[in-house]
Structure 1
Amino acid sequence: MIAYPDIDPIAVSLGPISIHWYGIMYLIGFASAYLLGNYRAKKSGGLWTSEMVSDAIFYGALGVILGGRIGYVFFYQFSGLIADPLSLFRIWEGGMSFHGGLIGVIVAMAIFARRYNKHLVDVTDFLAPFVPVGLGAGRLGNFIGGELWGKPTDVSWAMIFPNDPLQLARHPSQLYQFALEGVALFAILWFFSQKTKPRYCVSGMFLLCYGIFRILVEFVRQPDAQIGYLAFDWFTQGQLLSLPMVAAGLALIIAGFKLKTYPKAHTAS
């Protein structure tokens, strides 16, 4: 067993104001997306500009935060929402959903695409390779916060998380997700998109790979206590929400290589 590193989840305290590592990880994700986006924009042949990247990151940040919170309450605490509708707005109590954030980002990118007269998928194809950096940073934030741990295990790298009331040796599933959703997914999408791919393909690869990685990690991640397993004593809400991503990802990749259409420069509105 490996000792869990004793890291204070609060990075900085300024009087009554506390800055958590989880929030800093969000900032790292957005800043990294901005830098990588500008790097790719310079190589886009005029399809993207620095202004577009800045606006896309701003829209995306709103989509992540609003969609993540709304999605968490609807997907994982719906009964609590019915009993207490105001819980939706108590963000300080915690709770963010990747799948809700994904929906929020898609809505935000649709608004962005309309503003710049771009095809929605051209926007998501461009941004998809940068998303894993934020996902990986977020999982490190979960690990530092000692939350979203894995199932009990006897593997040699198991850890006991201080917030676990049972104090059991568990899979550090946050680190598994960091490795898969962050490092591996970034490498796959970055190299896959190095050469221009037909429309739909990069977005499809993101959905396909993330869905597969999330489904795999859910086998060793402790399910949310308020939901538990949906079926078979192993099938989780996270897996249920990820299955459509796998199907949609495959469909987009097949459609992309079949249609062979490519992004076009925006026109003034």
Structure 2
Amino acid sequence: MLIHPQFDPIAVSLGPLQVHWYGLTYLVAFTLFYLLAVRRAASAHFAARGWNRPMVEDLLFFGVLGVVLGGRLGYVLFYKPGHYLSHPAEILAVWQGGMAFHGGLLGVIAAMALYARRQRRHFFEVADLVAPCVPVGLAAGRIGNFINGELWGRAADPSLPWAMVFPQSGTDVARHPSQLYQFGLEGLLLFALLWWYARVPRPQGAVAGLFLLGYGLFRFIAEYFREPDNFLGLLALNMSMGQWLCVPMIVLGALFWGMAKKDAFRS
């Protein structure tokens, strides 16, 4: 049975300035997105549609705003609405933690819609360029969760070779390192799947639909190994909040992928 290494959450201290590992993982995520999106924009399919590096840079700016604002507001609305209704000043206290992927996704969707409108492009053209570039950023974020020793897993059989005790949980229970499961599933595996699928031109909307479907399925599975938030526990049908939020992603992803195969989103 392993013990979480108890990393110092502060990566670098320069006088009063402290740089946290979690902040660095966000920087890594945005950098990887930029590099991959530039490569996507330079491919024959997107280059023929006029995509270039400056457009990717503008898109990244919109995306960063969507991730940060959407992720924070999603956490506030989906997970602790009562608390933040009583303490509205804490909504802006992002340094205290509290970001939700599903809120970040909605923020990014809104950012892509605004960008597509400004550029007079079809929303799914933008979404198809973005989708394969996202999972590596998600993987970086899960490494940040692991370094912080947060979002730990449910109790595991102590004989499991990689079962791990997270002292931050306040117990000596052996747990699944669910952050690493999510790193592998919704990060590396989803990236490999989407990058392979998007290697050739697909019907508009198909890549974005597969992202929603794939992430929803992988996150739904990972939630069976992740400890539910203690202030929520398991909800109806013994499903976590994360799983319930994945259900519409799976349904919409399958719907969009099927519609795209019928050229429903052709420009």
Pairwise same-fold verdict (TM > 0.5): yes
1:190 aligns to what?
Answer: 195
Letter in 1 for 2:242: G
Residue 48 (structure 2) aligned to one of 32, 46, 49: 46
2:230 aligns to what?
Answer: 225
More displaced 10-residue stretch of structure 1: 247-256 or 43-52: 43-52
For residues 57-68 of structure 1, the aligned pairs below 5 Å read 57-68=60-71
Q: Deviations over 1:197-254 (max 9, x none)?
A: 001100100000100011111111000111111124x311001100000000000011
1:140 aligns to what?
Answer: 143
Question: How far has the Cα of 1:260 moved from its partner?
Answer: 6.2
Q: 1:200 and 2:205 equivalent? A: yes
Aligned mates of 1:261, 1:97 — CA distance in 2: 29
Residue aligned with 2:236, SS: coil
Question: How far has the Cα of 1:262 moved from its partner?
Answer: 4.8
1:267 aligns to what?
Answer: none
Aligned mates of 1:89, 1:116 — CA distance in 2: 31
1:94 aligns to what?
Answer: 97
Aligned mates of 1:55, 1:73 — CA distance in 2: 28
Aligned mates of 2:17, 2:257 — CA distance in 1: 46
2:168 aligns to what?
Answer: 163
Question: Does the aligned pair in 1 maintain the 2:6–2:149 contact within 8 Å?
Answer: no
Q: Deviations over 1:92-130 (max 9, x none)?
A: 110000000000001111111111111111101110000
Residue aligned with 1:178, SS: helix
Q: 1:161 to 1:219 in 2, by over 3 A?
A: same
1:29 aligns to what?
Answer: 29
2:125 aligns to what?
Answer: 122
Question: How far has the Cα of 1:261 moved from its partner?
Answer: 5.4
Q: TM-score, normalised by structure 2?
A: 0.95
Aligned mates of 1:105, 1:256 — CA distance in 2: 20
1:242 aligns to what?
Answer: 246
Residue aligned with 2:22, SS: helix
Q: Deviations over 1:8-32 (max 9, x none)?
A: 2211011222111111011111111
Residue aligned with 1:163, SS: helix
Letter in 1 for 2:99: M
Letter in 1 for 2:25: M
Q: TM-score, normalised by structure 1?
A: 0.94
Aligned mates of 1:245, 1:208 — CA distance in 2: 6
Q: Deviations over 1:66-101 (max 9, x none)?
A: 000000011011110121112211111100000000
Residue aligned with 1:244, SS: helix
Aligned mates of 1:231, 1:15 — CA distance in 2: 49
CA RMSD of aligned residues (A): 1.2
Could you tell me which runs of 5 or more consecutive residues in structure 1 were left unpaired when the two chains were aligned: 264-269
Q: What is the aligned residue count? A: 262
Q: Work out the percentage of aligned pairs sharing the same amino acid.
A: 50
